[in-house]
A = this chain, B = another copy of it.
């Protein structure tokens, strides 16, 4: 009376589960209709019953990511602090599946969770004194920045399979370090810092802090 997972019939959620695993282990490029069908022991065309096009499937992946966000409730904290908390929540969700993070960009205004996040961001920026247009602009930049922050985080070279990550980084670092120290003194000195990352948590905190500081700097209330 066990449900064998070889024949539990297909399902939107089952497909997305497998696609997410595939993206995590082999990168987004490995997520193809045909490969996915193979993994699910089904014919490629079967997926077209559940998704109209591949884009719909990818949109589903983006929505999955954004759906994980637990957008912080309004609080009594200063607006900049609330902004930081929102971006923290976003980055936290994106980091759970970095390979899929780029897909979130296009879905942010198209799914429930993304709209809630954006609405709260606009609200917080209004507290900072930004006009509607300015707030929209800052919010857009903020969300996009967090996505690239995760997308090309230390461990994750974009489009490169998880296995080749380390060797890729090493090659880049060596190339930098062996540049002429006369022409590129700072590049050579920063070879390590530019290609790796000592503290991962610090990397994300810094990226978030940079954006919050920018918002504070441009805020009419400062």
Contacts and interface: CB of A to CB of B under 8 A. Distances in A.
Interface of A: 105-106, 109-110, 115, 118-119, 122-123, 126, 132-141, 144-145, 148-149, 152, 158, 172, 175-176, 179, 183-187, 189-190, 193-194, 198, 203, 206-207, 209-218
24 contacts: A105-B158, A109-B172, A109-B176, A109-B194, A110-B172, A115-B184, A119-B186, A122-B186, A122-B187, A126-B186, A132-B186, A133-B190, A133-B193, A136-B194, A137-B203, A137-B206, A141-B207, A144-B148, A148-B148, A210-B211, A213-B213, A213-B217, A213-B218, A214-B217
- Give the 4 A-B CB pairs with smallest separation, nearest first: A213-B217, A214-B214, A136-B193, A122-B186
Contacts of A176: 109
Contacts of A110: 172, 175
B141 A149 contact: yes
Copies of the protein in its oligomer? 2
Contacts of A206: 134, 137, 218
Contacts of A185: 119
A184 B187 CA distance: 46
SS of A interface (majority): helix
Contacts of A119: 183-187
Nearest to A203: B137
A81 to B, nearest CB: 14
Nearest to A217: B213
Contacts of A137: 193, 203, 206-207
Given A119-B183, A122-B187, A210-B215, 6 more contacts: A119-B187, A132-B186, A137-B207, A141-B149, A213-B218, A216-B217
A175 to B, nearest CB: 7
Name, among A141, A152, A185, the residue most crowded by chain B CB atoms within 10 Å (CB to CB): A141
B152 A105 contact: yes
Contacts of A172: 109-110
A179 B110 CA distance: 11
A36 to B, nearest CB: 20
Given A210-B218, A214-B217, A217-B216, A190 B135 contact: yes
